[in-house]
Amino acid sequence: MALTKSDLAKYPFTPEAAEYVRDLDLKIEDLASPDYKSILDRAETRIEEAILHNLVSLQPHKDEVEIPSFPIAVMMAAATADPPLQRRYALAEAKRASGLLGEESRAKIMEIAGNFNWRIRPVDDTGEAKPYDFTLHFADFLRNSTVFREKKWKLVNRLLLDGEVYLTRDEAARLLEEEVRRHIEGKLGLEVGALPEGVTKRVERLRLLFVEKRGKIRMEEAPKRVVMAAFPPCIRSLYDSLASGRPLSHVGRFALTSFLLNIGMTPEEVVSLFRSLSDFDERMTRYQVEHIAGRRGSRTKYIPPRCSTLRTHGVCPAMEETCRRVSHPLAYYRRRLRTVRTEAPAEQK
């Protein structure tokens, strides 16, 4: 099944879309021309929408602008040299793709999946496989499902026959979202050369916008059951540093990780927080987090160091009144949690 121009506008990460852009022979220096302003505007808007809404919209009936705006947006996001911004942009584009794929025919989904070398096939609409639309080789399934937290994505909970996992249309789209996210993130790590002054100004505006909205974004992404307002000063400082992409000491990493795991975050949620670091290594980070959570090694779940230990290692930034009445970060959290929950109704009036 050949992809139409409208398909390329919806899925601009495909090889066919890349070929379309190559045929335009658009060069970086051309972006300074007024003739390409609409494309450059749209590229900037794609990143801005990702920053503000964590989702990129689809501009209908504007295929000539929509298709080339994607690689330019990727170039601009890469030029920010801001890993958290880049990851947010990649995720927003991937979410757009999965939302659109969920409305496509099975043939179209298989066409897109073929770009990632998926071993996928449709299933009959009758018999035991009736609720499902596709089967996918278990290796392709695992490559994309291991980052999901829901139990339904565990292989042991799936219908698996002859090495193939059965999927619904929505599940296939969700797995493709992860594939697209990784594909775009891979491109965002490429080095960008000199850009026209007008493009550089747009990149800087987007970078500053992300810095301005980073606090709000961090609150949006934090698990709702975790009350950040009750964090002790040491943990808040570590959390803010991590969210800003600043490296933490070994003691700082251990203190933050063990604290978050003990107040209700899952290992997967903690691993996601560390994605903001430029030297993020998912395999190593996941191992360390799961070890602290008691899922590996001795199977002992660790708690954070005491306040005196954190002060010795320079992790304690400053003591508040509550700090003087407790000797452990978890004790601070529990004490402050009661205060925060008591004050919350009054704030809402």
pLDDT digits (tens, 9 = 90+) for 60-109: 778 999 999 999 999 999 999 998 899 999 999 999 999 999 999 999 99
Instruction: Give CA–CA dist 165/154, Å, rounded.
Output: 11
pLDDT of residue 222: 61
Q: Mention every residue, 6+ apart, whose C-beta is less than 8 A from residue 159.
A: 132, 165, 166
pLDDT of residue 346: 42
3-class DSSP state of 165:
strand
Instruction: Give CA–CA dist 138/164, Å, rounded.
Output: 5
Instruction: Give CA–CA dist 25/223, Å, rounded.
Output: 45
Instruction: Give CA–CA dist 102/171, Å, rounded.
Output: 9
pLDDT of residue 348: 41
pLDDT of residue 345: 46
Q: Are 17 and 67 in contact (CB under 8 A)?
A: yes
**Ranges of the chain with pLDDT below 70:** 1, 125-130, 218-224, 341-349
Q: State which amino acid sits at residue 27.
A: K
Question: Nearest-5° angle of CA 196, CA 198, CA 201?
Answer: 110
Q: Whole-model pTM above 0.75?
A: no
Q: How many CB atoms lie within 10 A of CB 51?
A: 21
Task: Characterise 150 by phi-psi region: left (phi > 0), alpha (psi -120 to 50), beta (else).
Answer: beta
pLDDT of residue 213: 84
Beta strands in the chain (DSSP E): 120-122, 134-137, 160-161, 164-167
Q: Are 138 and 164 in contact (CB under 8 A)?
A: yes
pLDDT of residue 212: 87
pLDDT of residue 349: 35
Tokens found for residue 17 = 């879309």
Tokens found for residue 107 = 């043939």
